[in-house]
Chains A and B, each alone.
Chain A
């Protein structure tokens, strides 16, 4: 990769003063003033907080917005002006031929009742209407090969749901490439995917831009992805351009406050950085700020949660989803459950809470198998456990006010009178830095981060001995995530609970947890202190997982890509 080459490259897409307004019941200025340029063979990343108008901007270039959207701005494609203000014939002509788009959710973006081959063939025929059947098929197979899918001839006869997420995303890319476009608009192409799969897609996009000279515009909120793939970065906020620049420069010398805030919010993770193998546990402790967490209690004490040989199945006579997992958590200790999506993290959480069918092993809280107890005692134990579920929206009843949600366990579990409970709820809201005037709002009326805090307030209402938090930050953008984690640390220090922390975000785990369990297909592949597992992973899977988590550091990512490419050619 040489910068010199890029500077001379021709400009493919030039967007100036793009604005999109939605008219209707209320007028939404989704994009106000947005400008950027994409050159041949270059990857441009657009980053910005959720709702800042990234997707809308991309869609507007292809005229894929609803009727109530009013678009204006100067757009030049290959130097020729393109009128994006209405569904002009030119816009329809460039679709799929000069500008293609890769959509965010791969399964949702494919027509479920056509085979993937047919769907690619359609795109081929758009560009070459006179092609005969054999030509089209040949081209489809070529495309499947170019996106590195195995056995293209069987694969093309499959339906979207028969493919994995990564394969589906590759199909979308193949469709996008069918018209040999000059520009590829990729809207969060990897958000729905596992880190390991994500890496493959990013490599593919990178390779396409390099080898075919396609200009790639990638939209993402993951700074790790940006660091990994982008040549240029465009930061957008509230529908307007904040800062743009070459990636390495922007990461090291951010000019704008917002950009800086964005980069600061990314967890700092020396454990995962650089080359694997150097042993520097002490450095970790100081660098992660983990010092704020009290040291784990002596190991001769009774663990708060002890899971032994746990197996779980969702329905009778179906194969287990979790096989023989064991771990324990002491007071003041935070144990992380990590692993790719679907590896059984949430399942373990559910089983610990008695919400999934345990097929083997034991779950002990304070030394008793509480799930086997009678209802009444079981309920008592349950009151010692605080729970935060994965999605902030889903974990609050949309028809309860925030105060009601927080007070519910107090009223119905402890029998606190309603008035007192509501008063206590307001105190708890103070603790999680929510203003009291929010007490009567409904979950839909507050932001995701605020909801997360309501869940936390509710979870600590009963002063839990054990806190179970299932991906409490998965759905948040980095800045909100940072706030939530800070709050978490504070609470843990004050209340001293043991914590089971589920996450797929390795940098976050590295900075926050004491012990870690790595899961693959429901099996425990690694278990131990964070420092040893992350620094000296003993299994290939763990190593791959750790390496695939993109770090928000362009140099590290470039180095990693270089190593991968070497490995591939070797």
Chain B
């Protein structure tokens, strides 16, 4: 680090890289149970996955050496690497993989489980505890695993990318029911990844050390530390040399300049997290697709990107990453057009009959409550802009901020109605339509299907077109992902994969 090492005592020596986490990890270091990006950061350095994505967003082998898929898409077979050892020296085998997914389907599994598992053969009976036998996944030999699907589910790969494999010999000692609570096992993860877990100081940091036996090549530094620093303090920590890598949370040029002044460089890549305002399609006022389209037209989304995000974002017109290969190029862009919005509203029967500047229909005024969660600074800037946009076309828009969990549970409650709610999600590969649940939108039958990745992709594109047409959300943007990097070489992230090259990271001389 820069700065006076004596004064700051920063990173403990020349062989340590410190990565800032803006919040404390929950300490759920189980690769299939973790809930936050902060836990994920640790898990992705300690564990490995069967597959990962490359820069072109294609699936590449990791723990799996190769795989094959049957014609009908119902059988997928993985050949595993044979040179992999767990951090405690035990060998990694097909049994571990089978154990992972059997546990996922177990009745006691303390969470929802990975989606693709529920498409596997015999899932229902096993999950309901009717049999002890789960035929959906089996080890053909020590290094071969076969998945058998009831219905083909090509999107499984995206889940394999998200959920690393954990060790059978560690976890089978704990009853599955207690997996989320057994601190002793949860907080001492044993993986196959580039770094070994060393210490979790709750609320402060997680320290990892290099795994010399990593099958992808031993890391070049000795220690990797994830330190909890809230984003307000980041600038101080960076200046002070307490941190080497951190996320950019504010694209304000003067903030970026401040980071640069502190001796850091900025690494920018297309983001994968999208923001949008969900619309309740069952809401009487919003039932009419014209009204929803009007709401999209009336939102000056480009200005929001240009001002609040200083251009560091892409506009979206569906719940998917514009970089996604299945994202159709021909979606309606809903360019900012308040006149068109007014016209659509008029067609839908909303006019200002009493001249008070607010649209009405059948004696009811067009009110619109924009709900957003308090824990995002960005939302508190975007929401007032939308409010102004809507007020400009005669909608009586108001703002309501609640904490994220209240908002979430309100959206999840089918009996509650809302107007517009700010949401954000990570747009994962091959996963579409999950958020329709919130809009209460059922327009596009069985959302996304296909026997192989290609047919699945076409189906996905059609789905996105339908969603775009139905205007179930006011899609806002996918903000670029930014990193502040100080004194580190070899930091080479790309979408979905921040840590894939963490074994290549070195400190600048």
State yes or no: do A and B touch (Cβ within 8 Å). no
Interface residues of B (CB under 8 A from A): none
